[in-house]
């Protein structure tokens, strides 16, 4: 077959991820056409195609998500519990970061990529402690967090990343850009928290974490990793691009769940003993 691209599948061939009431962008994400190369490409070419696809999907989902619309447009009207809930769920995710980073440390197909990702992993260790410091400031202890249950959407994202890191590391590496804030100059959540006049003892550790990611250029890590991949087959490109919609849907639902749960709940934690 010659060069060029082909449409991978249609929306009718893919089942919705969630059937919950409320915000649900999944059907729109799966309706977005996917173009895959007909011949092998470089890692750089693949990540640029993935980023373009992620941006198109983000416009249909994350940029319209009720959580981010509220944070960007009306931060002073956002309930305090939502700000705290965002930190809680991110803490749960970062506390489990070794679940999905560690399996990819031994990536066997590029020594350069492996070294870069190992350096990133060393820099990431302990970031959950910054969020813990913020949560301590509002009276939440490490023990209370340890014995509480994350939202199901948080664990869905964590489990998906863990699976991909073990069984499809190329796909996993494409998720690091959005997760680490690619193309983000100002952290909208931190800015919203400042506008809300939340306690500095809560906001400052979160801001410190955001600045570490920004100053270390973690959002650009994915591009650096893919520069180290010489060639990717058409079949691998198809698989990665197909699963990108699933990743964005999971990431979108992660934020939507924070908004839906914490804007209506007085209790910040869900103790395991109560479930």
pLDDT in tens, 79-95: 999 999 999 999 999 99
pLDDT at 140 exceeding the cut of 80: yes
**Backbone φ and ψ of 41, nearest 5°:** -135, 170
Position 14 scores a pLDDT of 37
Position 218 scores a pLDDT of 65
Position 3 scores a pLDDT of 52
Is domain 39-267 in CATH 1.20.1560.10, yes or no? no
Torsion angle defined by CA atoms of residues 203, 76, 150 and 174, in that order, rounded to the nearest 10 degrees = -80
The string of pLDDT tens digits covering residues 153-180 is: 999 999 999 999 999 999 999 999 999 8
Rounded to an integer, the average pLDDT of 240-265 is: 94
Position 19 scores a pLDDT of 34
Domain boundaries, the chain: 39-267
3-state SS, residue 36: strand
Mean of the per-residue pLDDT values for the chain? 88
Position 219 scores a pLDDT of 62
The residues near 211 (Cβ < 8 Å, ≥ 6 apart) are: none
Lowest mean pLDDT among 77-91, 204-218, 247-261: 204-218
- What is the pTM (predicted TM-score) of this model? 0.88
Task: Report the distance separating Cα 149 and Cα 163, nearest Å.
Answer: 20
* Residue 275 CB-density burial (10 A; 0-12 exposed, 13-18 middle, 19+ buried): exposed
What token pair was written down for 264? 């209506």
Nearest Cα to Cα of residue 71 among 187, 229, 210: 187
DSSP codes, 176-230: HHHHHTTT-SS-HHHHHHHHTT--HHHHHHHHHHHHHHHHTTGGGHHHHHHHT--
Position 1 scores a pLDDT of 40
């Amino acid at each position: 077959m010659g060069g060029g691209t082909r449409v991978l599948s249609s929306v009718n061939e893919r089942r919705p991820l969630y059937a919950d009431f409320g915000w649900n962008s999944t059907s729109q994400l799966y309706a977005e056409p996917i173009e895959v190369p007909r011949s092998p490409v470089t890692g750089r070419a693949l990540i640029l195609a993935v980023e373009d696809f992620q941006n198109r999907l983000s416009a249909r989902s994350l940029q319209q998500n009720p959580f981010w619309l509220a944070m960007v447009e009306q931060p002073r009207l956002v309930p305090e519990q939502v700000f705290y809930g965002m930190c809680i769920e991110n803490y749960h995710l970062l506390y489990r970061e070794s679940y999905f980073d560690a399996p990819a440390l031994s990536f066997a197909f590029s020594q350069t990529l492996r070294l870069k990702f190992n350096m990133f992993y060393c820099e990431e260790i302990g970031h959950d402690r910054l969020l813990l410091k913020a949560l301590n400031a509002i009276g939440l202890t490490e023990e209370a967090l340890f014995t509480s249950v994350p939202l199901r959407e948080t664990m869905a994202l964590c489990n998906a990343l863990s699976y991909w890191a073990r069984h499809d590391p190329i796909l996993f590496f494409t998720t690091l850009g959005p997760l680490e804030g690619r193309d983000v100059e100002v952290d909208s959540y931190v800015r919203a928290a400042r506008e809300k006049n939340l306690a500095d003892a809560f906001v400052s550790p979160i801001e410190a974490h955001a600045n570490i990611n920004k100053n270390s250029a973690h959002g650009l890590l994915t591009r650096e990793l893919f520069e180290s991949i010489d060639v990717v087959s058409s079949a691998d490109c198809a698989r990665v691009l197909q699963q990108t919609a699933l990743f964005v849907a999971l990431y979108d639902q992660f934020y939507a769940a924070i908004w839906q749960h914490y804007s209506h709940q007085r209790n910040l934690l869900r103790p395991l003993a109560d479930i």
